[in-house]
């Protein structure tokens, strides 16, 4: 790990602190009239997503964590584990569902994702902004039941449940936002 000064902080940088790994969301150098300068930061925990405010003395040394981002293709599921393949080296990686978190509900075979890794641990997974998935199961829409904005639960091919409009039927392909889990529309 590289030691850096708090004077060199930049947004998006990852720090290894005593409490864990944190991404710098924002920072501000403050030089009051009296006393020493300091750096006020907003940090996001890379594992839990919790955001906290932290103040450092100006010039204080902190550990910078080197995050390795690898473009990988999701191949298949083996039991509860997910098998990914590195696009450049063809090396396969077995990942547990806990490391993927909510992103596991959007993964379909042959989908590409960027895995952010710290040493041998996956700390984040970046998916496309939206994905097209098939509806595995949902209640059929009843003719004449067209309340404006009404929704019903639908189970996707990945097992994730999302709210969809009443006109969506089993077998339809829909586009889902991977950040919020919202229905965006039918896909062609």
pLDDT tens for each residue of 120-149: 888 888 888 888 888 888 887 665 556 666
E strand residue ranges, the chain:
2-5, 14-17, 20-30, 38-45, 51-57, 61-64, 68-78, 81-86, 92-95, 112-118, 121-126, 130-138, 151-156, 161-165, 173-177, 183-186
If you ran DSSP here, which 8-state letter would residue 31 be given? -
What are 52-66's pLDDT values in tens digits?
899 988 888 988 888
pTM, two decimals, is: 0.71
CB-neighbour burial class of residue 53 (10 A; exposed 0-12, middle 13-18, buried 19+): exposed
Identify the structural domains of the chain with CATH numbers, from first to last. 2-64 (2.30.30.30), 68-126 (2.40.50.140), 130-186 (2.40.50.140)
What are 10-24's pLDDT values in tens digits?
888 888 888 888 888
């Amino acid at each position: 790990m590289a030691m850096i000064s708090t004077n060199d902080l930049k947004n998006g940088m990852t720090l290894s602190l005593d409490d864990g790994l944190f991404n710098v969301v924002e920072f501000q150098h403050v030089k009051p009239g009296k006393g020493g300068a300091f750096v006020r930061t907003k940090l996001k925990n890379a594992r839990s997503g919790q955001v906290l405010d932290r103040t450092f003395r100006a010039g204080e040394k902190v550990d910078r964590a080197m995050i390795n981002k690898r473009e990988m293709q999701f191949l298949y599921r083996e039991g509860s584990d997910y098998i990914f393949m590195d696009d450049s080296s063809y090396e396969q990686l077995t990942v547990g569902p806990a490391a993927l978190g909510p992103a596991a509900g959007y993964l379909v075979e042959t989908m590409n994702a960027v895995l952010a890794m710290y040493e041998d641990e996956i700390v984040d997974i970046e998916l496309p902004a939206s994905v097209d998935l098939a509806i595995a199961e949902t209640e059929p829409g009843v003719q004449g039941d067209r309340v404006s904005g009404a929704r019903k639960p639908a189970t996707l091919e990945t097992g994730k449940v999302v709210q969809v409009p009443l006109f969506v039927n089993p077998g339809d392909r829909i586009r889902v936002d991977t950040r919020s889990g919202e229905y965006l529309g039918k896909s062609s």
